[in-house]
Amino acid sequence: MKKTVLLGALTVAGLAATAASAATLDDVRARGKLNCGVSTGLPGFSNPDANGNWQGFDVDFCRALAGAVFGDGSAVEFVPLTTQTRFTALSSGEIDVLARNTTWTYSRDTDLKLDFIGVNYYDGQGFMVPKSLGVSSAKDLDGATVCIQTGTTTELNLADFFRANNISYEPVPIETNAEAQQQYLAGACDVYTTDASGLAATRATFEAPADHVLLPEIISKEPLGPAVRHGDNEWADIARWTLNALISAEELGVTSANVAELAAAPTTNPEVNRLLGTEGELGAMMGLDAKWAVNAIAAGGNYGEIFERNIGENTPIGLARGLNAQWTEGGLIYSAPVR
C-alpha cells in the first residue's frame, strides 16, 4: 500500500517536471538568455568570427528573437550542433530554438515533432566539383565519390537522385561542413553536395574559389527555417512573428537605422504603427513588451539588411536574392499581416 503511494507520488513529480518545461517563454525569461542551436560553422549562416562572436544569417534571427523577448539582442547563448545532434538537442530542451539551415520536411514536422515557424531561406540541393574534372552536368557523375553530410535531407535526396537516374556513386559520410571541405579539397571525394547556399558559402572560403564550379542541376526543394519544439504554441508564435516582423519591416521600409525614430511617435502608416507598437496592443497578445518588434529589428536590422550583410551580393558568398526577394519584388518572402 505504502509503496503504491510512494510510486504514485513519484509519477506525479515526474509529470510536474515535464509540465513545467512546456512554457518555454517562462524558462527563457528565468534563465535570462535564449539558447539558440546553430551550425558548427558555415560562413554566412552561422560561424564564429576571429573574436569568437557568432555571425551570420541564422545567428541574426536568434539575436532578433532575443531582442523581442528581452529587449537585448545579445542575450543569446549559441549552441553549435552537428546535423546529427540538432534535433535531439531541441527535443531534449537543450536549446529553445534551432536556427541551423534546417529543411522543413513533412516527417520532421510530424514524426520528429519539430515545429517550423516559417522559411527564412528558400534553397535547393546542388553539386560542387573541381573545374578540372570537366563535368558539366550532375548526370555525368556515374561512379563518382560524393562527400555528403550524414543525417541530412541532402543525403536522402542524393540517394533518390542517383537511383532515379540509374547511376551509381560512392558516398563518403561526413559529420561537419568543415570536414567535408577538407576532404573535398584533399580530393578524397570528387563531388560535394549540400544546399546550394551552403556550397556557395563553403566555396567562398576556398583559396581559389574559381577552380570549383556548381553544377546546373538543383535536385531538391530545401526550404530552410527556424524550428521550435512541438507542443508549445505560445513560444512558436513568438518565434514565428519575430521572423514575420523582420520580413514586414523590410517590406515597410523599417530599418535598423530608422526604427528608433519611427517608433518614437505614431507615423502616418498604421501598419508601421502596429508593428512598432505605437498603436494597438500586439506585444501583449504574445506576453511580450509593446516594443518587441522594435527590439527585434534593432538587434540586426530587417530581413533584407540581415541578408545583405551576411550572404548578399556584396559579401564573398555573393548570393542573389532570387527566390528570397520580397513577394513585391517577385520573390517568395512574404509575411502574414501584422494586425
Output the smallest distance, CB 194 to ligand GSH, in A.
4
In angstroms, rounded to a whole number, what is the distance separating the alpha carbons of residues 141 and 313?
Answer: 30
Q: Which is nearer to other proteins, 221 or 230 (CB)?
A: 230
Q: CA dist 319 to 63, 202, 271, 280, 324, Å?
A: 22, 12, 30, 38, 10
Q: Using CB under 8 A, which of 42, 97, 158, 333 touches other proteins?
A: 158
Output the smallest distance, CB 230 to ligand GSH, in A.
17
In angstroms, rounded to a whole number, what is the distance separating the alpha carbons of residues 265 and 262?
Answer: 7
Picked from ligand GSH, other proteins, none, the partner binding residue 53 (CB below 5 to 8 A depending on kind) is: none
* Alpha helix segments (H runs only) across the chain: 2-20, 24-31, 57-70, 86-91, 106-110, 153-164, 177-185, 196-204, 233-252, 259-264, 270-276, 282-285, 292-300, 303-310
Q: Return the exposure string of 302-334: e unless at least 16 CB atoms fall within 10 Å of the residue's CB, then b.
A: bbbbbbebbbbeebebebebeebbbeeeeeebe
Picked from other proteins, ligand GSH, none, the partner binding residue 15 (CB below 5 to 8 A depending on kind) is: other proteins
Task: To the nearest 10°, report the CA torsion of 325, 80, 220, 308.
Answer: 20
Output the smallest distance, CB 326 to ligand GSH, in A.
23
Output the smallest distance, CB 28 to other proteins, in A.
18
What track of x and - describes contact with other proteins for positions 69 through 88 (by CB under 8 A)?
--------------xx--xx
Picked from ligand GSH, other proteins, none, the partner binding residue 169 (CB below 5 to 8 A depending on kind) is: other proteins
Residues that bind ligand GSH (CB under 6 A): 39-42, 82-83, 101-103, 149, 152-154, 176-177, 194-195, 198, 222, 224
The residues binding other proteins (CB under 8 A) are 3, 6-7, 10-11, 13-15, 17-19, 21-22, 83-84, 87-88, 91, 107-108, 111-113, 133, 141-145, 150-151, 155-156, 158-160, 162-163, 169-175, 183, 186-190, 229-231
